[in-house]
Chains A and B, each alone.
Chain A
Amino acid sequence: MTDNLAGVAAPAGVVVTPVTAARRGRRQPRRLLGFIIPVLVLVAWQLAWDWQLRPRTILPSPHEVLSAADAYFFGARSEAGLSGVVYFKGAGWDHLATSITRCGEAWAIAVVVGLLLGLGLGLSPWVADLLDPFSNALRAVPLFAWLPLASVWYGINPTSGRILIFIGALWPVVVATTDGVARVPAGQIEAARMLGTPRSRLWRRVYLPSALPEIVTGLRLSLTLAWTCVIIAELGGTTTGVGAMMTSAREAGATEQIIVGIFVFALVGYAADRILRLAARPFISWSVT
C-alpha cells in the first residue's frame, strides 16, 4: 500500500499514517506560532512602561533592560577587587559559565545516580521492595526543606547549592527510568531471550533502548529543574553566578538587572533543553513523539 499524504511521497509498501503526515506538514507554522506570545508580551511591556502603569523604578523599559544586558555581557569590567561584592558590568560571561558549571556538575551526578537507581528499581523486584518506600518518601520532601539542613551541614556556600541542584534533578530521572523500564513490553523481552540474548545483557539490548524515550523526557525535566535550582544555590555565600548577580541586584534595587537575570535563565534553560532534545533525537527517532 502506498500513500501520499500531505505532499509526502512514500516508497512502495510504506504506509504513511495520517498522523505522521500531518505532523510533518504542520512543522513550520508551529515554529512561527511560538514567537507570537513573546512579541505580544514585549509590546504589552513597552505600553505598560509608556503609560507608567507601575513606577519606572520597579518597571524598567525593554530598552533599559537591553542596555543592562549589553553592559552585563559586553561592558568594560570594573576590577575593584572588593571582597563580597557582586560585579555586574562585563561579568555576564563569567557568571554564566559559573552557573552552568555548578548546574552541569550536579546534574551529571544526578543523571548517573538517577539512571542506576531507576534501572535497579525497574529491573529488580528485590531492589524495588527495598528502596521504593524510602525513595518515594524522600521524593515527597519539598526541595526548600533541604535548604536549612544543607546550610547547617555545609554552610551557606556553593556546595549546599550543588546538593540542592542534585536533589532537584535526581527524582525526574529516577521516576522516568523506573517507569520506562517497567513498561517495556514483555513480548520484547521474550523475543530477545528467544533470539539468544542472555539475561545479563537484556538491560542493554532491550530495557534501555525501549525505555529511552521516557528516560529522555525525564532527563529534560531534570535538566530544567536543575537549572531552576541554580538560583537557590546562588542565593548566598557566593559572589559569582547569575543567581548571585540577581540577589545583589535585588538588594541594590536594580530591577533591570533582575530582569536581565530572568532572561538569561529563560534563554539558557530553553537552549539547554533544545540541545538535549537534538542530542537525543538520533536515539529516539523510532518513537513517535
Chain B
Amino acid sequence: MAKGVCKSFGALKVLDGIDLEVTAGRTMALLGPSGCGKSTLLRVLAGFEAFDAGTVTVDGDPVTGPSPTRGMVAQSDTLFPWLTVGKNIGFGPRERGEGDAAATVSDLLGATGLSEFADTLPRHLSGGMRQRAAIAQVLANKPPLLLLDEPFGALDAQTRLRMHEWVRGLLAARPTTTVLVTHDVDEALLLGDQLGLLSARPAKIVSLRKVPFGAERGRHTLVEPAFVSLKASVLDEVLGSS
C-alpha cells in the first residue's frame, strides 16, 4: 500500500523510500528506535501528513487526506470529552449519516467490556478503558485499515499486557488490516503477524519477517523459549540499526 514514500520537514528527511504491503486482515507491527519517523509514517498512511514522493493506497484508492476508511488510534486517546462513551463510539456512523447506529454501538460496547459505561464521560474512565473506547470509536466505522500509533504507550505494564491480549482477541474476532507502530518489542511480537524493522531517521524498512506464533498469544507467550529467542534477535537488529 506504500511505495517509495519520502517525507521531509524542511531540511530534515524523515521517511526515505518506504515500501510497505500489509496482508488483508493481518497486523503489521513496525518497530523502530525512538524518533525514527514511525509516527510520521502512520500519519502519512492516515492522510494527516502530505508526503513528498511515492504512492500510498488503501484497497487501490490513493490516500489524499483523512477518511473514515482509515481509523487511527494514538497514544493520547481521540475521544471527545463532552460526549459519553456511547456517543463517542457512535460519532463516526452518525457523521456518515447512519443515524445512531445503536446496534453497532451496543456490539462494540460489549466487545470492549464497556457496556455499563455507555453513559459515562471519558474523564471518568481509566487509561485502559479510554483506549478501548478509542479503538471502538474507530472500529464503529468498520475501516478497512486500522492504524495504531503506540496506543498503549501511556499505560502501566500490567494494563498494557491486558490490552495486548484484548486487542489480539478483538482482531481475531473482527479481522481488520492493521498497522501498529511501537518501540516495544514485546508488543510488536504479541500483536503483529508481520514485523517490519525501521532504521534510524530517515526511516526506511530494513527487514520484514513473519511472526511465527499462532493467534493464541498472551502472557504465557512471553516466557516461551521461541519468543525469548526471537525477541533477542529482534532487539539485536533494532539496536544495531539505531
Contacts and interface: CB of A to CB of B under 8 A. Distances in A.
B78 interface: yes
A196 B123 contact: no
Contacts of A193: 65-66
A205 B94 CA distance: 11
Interface string A238-271: 0000000000000000000000000000000000
Interface string B93-108: 0011000000000000
Nearest to B78: A191
B75 to A, nearest CB: 10
A151 interface: no
Interface stretch (B16-24, B51-59, B124-132, B219-227): B124-132
Contact of B129 (A13, A187, A188, A283): A13
B116 interface: yes
Nearest to A288: B123
A78 interface: no
A235 B199 CA distance: 75
Nearest to A283: B82
Given A188-B80, A209-B82, A194 B66 contact: yes
Interface string A28-65: 00000000000000000000000000000000000000
A206 interface: yes
Interface SS of A by simple majority: helix
A289 interface: no
Q: Which of B67, B117, B124, B141 has the most CB of A within 10 A?
A: B124
Contacts of A287: 81-82
A16 B123 CA distance: 9
Contacts of A191: 78-80, 137
Contacts of A196: 67-68, 92, 95-96, 141
Interface string B58-72: 000000011110111
Contact of A14 (B67, B83, B92, B125): B125
Given A13-B129, A188-B78, A286-B81, A195 B138 contact: yes
A12 B124 CA distance: 11
A15 interface: yes
A210 B116 CA distance: 25
Given A15-B124, A195-B137, A196-B68, A190 B80 contact: no
Interface of A: 1, 10-16, 187-188, 190-197, 201, 205-206, 209-210, 212, 283-284, 286-288
7 contacts: A11-B117, A14-B120, A15-B126, A190-B66, A194-B68, A196-B92, A201-B95
Interface of B: 46-48, 65-68, 70-72, 74, 76, 78-83, 91-92, 95-96, 116-117, 120-121, 123-126, 129, 137-138, 141
Given A194-B68, A195-B71, A283-B82, 4 more contacts: A15-B124, A194-B46, A206-B80, A209-B80
Pick the 10 closest A-B CB pairs, nearest first: A191-B78, A195-B92, A196-B95, A193-B66, A196-B68, A286-B82, A196-B96, A194-B66, A209-B82, A197-B95
